[in-house]
Structure 1
Amino acid sequence: MSEVRTFKVGADDDDIRLDRWFKRHLPEISFTQVSKWARTGQLRLDGKRAAPGDRIAVGQLIRVPPAEPPAPEKAKPKRERPQLSDDQIAFAQELLIHKDAQALVINKPPGLATQGGTKTHEHVDGLLDALQFEAEGRPKLVHRLDKDTSGALLLARTSRAAAFFTKAFSSRTARKVYWALITGVPSIEDGFIELPIAKQPGTGGEKMHVDEKEGSPAKTRYRVIERAGNRAAWVELQPFTGRTHQLRVHMAAIGHPIVGDGKYGGQDAFLTGGISRKMHLHARRIRIDHPDGGRVDVMADLPAHFAESLDLLGFELEAGDLPLDDVKFSDTPEGKKRAESAAAKARRKERKGERRGRSRG
């Protein structure tokens, strides 16, 4: 309102506070505004200055000043992504190992984070503009790899593909195969690790640990590809659940930490004899259903330090790709729960049908 208004106090408002009257009759005017009018002498009762706490009486006249126009909302400054340099664009595009209308796969190098953080300024997410190509928008992250883990990272090129791939990861129908170099050799060369994982208290969620009571179910399959005596082994790892740091926690928990993983293996995670101290965990292969039918099935080459370590230990790269046998999702902890739920639902439906049949008869 742009003009002064005058209101007469009615019988229902006799002996109430002035600020209460505003709340009843002019709720759009805030208490802060009423107080401001009182301080500046603009709020008056029967021509005299009034305060928000003054009691009013029937028949008194309340002078209400013109309402101030609302302050224009400050538009939040749009955070613009920094423009990529020619070198950054070239670097990002060199990582590309698969491209189609719905999906990209890059071979992420070790040391490059998937997403940014407080102290992380170089990451895959910051390079995605370089991978837009002819698509309408930049690609979208649908899963992640740890900063020091290298290998196949899937990107969605459309919103439809992002939703499709996200569902595939959450339902565990996507298959991820990792290669790792571990210290020592497991006594069982082809087995499963089923140990629940939770955040380790006191680490701010930065570290995980095995927790039989509070942990979430976690299952990993491992297969030994080759061994270097009892010193080390090259293994294939397949996570059938998606817990944070799952592979690293599981291998350390069975006494065979991943080489270079001091966070979970301590000093036991390092080998002598010229073996790199970098993390030896690599996402070798990703296989996932494609939104347009068929599958994305891509392998990523090893980073230099990992390949050199295998060579130093006398391992042959040709031995690495074991047959990808099908392990049904029902074999995982979450899958068993879903299978049991589906079976129970089917039984209830069957009983319901039987009751209906008897009632008709």
Structure 2
Amino acid sequence: MDTPQPTAGEMQARVLHRDGLMLVIDKPAGIAVHKGPKGGPNLEASFDALRYGLPRPPVLAHRLDRDTSGCLVLGRHRKATASLGLLFKHGKIGKTYWAVVEGGPAENEGEIDIPLGRLDETRGWWQKPDPNGLPSQSRWSVMGRGDGLTWLALEPVTGRTHQLRVHCAAMGFPIVGDNIYGNGPRFGEPSLHLHSREIVVPLSKNKPPVRVVAPVPLHLHERLRACGWNGEDVHAPEQVASHA
């Protein structure tokens, strides 16, 4: 899936939440969040459309993989971006992803605790299970099953690169369309079935956390429906969604 450089109007249409400190946008799959060594379309190049009167464009507070869709948090000025960075660093932001995986676990919920390390020096950000790597934990809950697939709500407790993708593959249920750690094709369908569904940000001490939900992108609809999904109003189990 290749997504062209978004126009100003397309970027503004993807704003899910806006306040004085941050934006949450609905990242499309198939586009990098920032410019890589090979160039090409990237979200950051379109952030100028999201200034909304401020002197500078917003800044990424975290990252999502090129082929992952959904909630992406941007800081609107330096102080806000620094505060958001600390919240992400210390695991204070609740993140719930939806994934469709091949096969699936026998149980209905659980936790994956597998340290991760760099695959090798030539593969950039690619990761592997590594007993000497960084501690990495993910929680999962089954949302539905069907047709050799399982729909999972995934919560990364730690925030390692490619963590959910490596963890699911290591457990024997790779994410559908994962062309690095699973069985996805290099080109064409199915593309990666991983979506940042919900984010909960406790940014203000005097206000409740900001909770944002991203709509399910079209490329996930068919396989989610095969697992029992029936529309937008289904939320992750409370123990996953409310963790902050």
TM-score by length of 1: 0.61
Matched, 1:116 2:16: no
Contact 2:100 2:151 in 1 (8 A): yes
Q: Please give the residue correspondences for 1:189-208 in structure 2 after superposition, counting only pairs within 5 Å.
A: 189-201=108-120, 203-208=122-127
- Amino acid in the other structure paired with 2:194: L
Q: Please give the residue correspondences for 1:1-150 in structure 2 after superposition, counting only pairs within 5 Å.
A: 88-150=7-69
Partner residue in 1 for 2:192: 279
- Say if 1:185 and 1:243 are closer, same or farther in 2 by CA, change over 3 A: same
Describe the SS at the equivalent of 2:238. Answer: coil
1:179 to 98, 103, 106: 98
2:162 and 2:194 map into 1 onto residues whose CA distance is 11
1:107 and 1:188 map into 2 onto residues whose CA distance is 31
TM superposition shift of 1:328: 7.3
1:96 and 1:218 map into 2 onto residues whose CA distance is 30
- Say if 1:293 and 1:162 are closer, same or farther in 2 by CA, change over 3 A: farther
Contact 1:284 1:301 in 2 (8 A): yes
TM superposition shift of 1:121: 2.3
Describe the SS at the equivalent of 1:169. Answer: helix
- Say if 1:141 and 1:221 are closer, same or farther in 2 by CA, change over 3 A: same
| Structure possessing the higher radius of gyration over alpha carbons | 1
1:156 to 56, 75, 80: 75
Higher helix share goes to which structure? 1
Contact 1:225 1:319 in 2 (8 A): no
1:220 to 121, 124, 138: 138
177-186 or 134-143, larger mean C-alpha shift: 134-143
196-205 or 179-188, larger mean C-alpha shift: 196-205
1:128 and 1:238 map into 2 onto residues whose CA distance is 27
Q: Tell me the C-alpha RMSD between the 2 structures.
A: 2.2
TM-score by length of 2: 0.89
* Structure 1 segments of 4+ aligned residues over 4 angstroms from their partners: 326-329
Note the residue ranges of structure 1 that are not aligned, 5 or more in a row: 1-84, 271-275, 330-361
- Say if 1:182 and 1:324 are closer, same or farther in 2 by CA, change over 3 A: same
Matched, 1:310 2:214: no
| 1:274-299 superposed Cα distances (whole Å, 9 cap, x missing partner) | xx411100000010112464222100
TM superposition shift of 1:129: 0.4
Number of residue-to-residue matches in the alignment: 236
- Amino acid in the other structure paired with 1:167: L
| Higher RCO (CA < 8 A, seq sep 6+) | 2
- Amino acid in the other structure paired with 2:175: I
- Say if 1:320 and 1:185 are closer, same or farther in 2 by CA, change over 3 A: farther
TM superposition shift of 1:314: 4.4
Partner residue in 2 for 1:5: none
- Amino acid in the other structure paired with 1:130: A
Partner residue in 2 for 1:299: 213
Describe the SS at the equivalent of 2:182. Answer: helix
TM superposition shift of 1:187: 1.4
- Amino acid in the other structure paired with 1:204: R
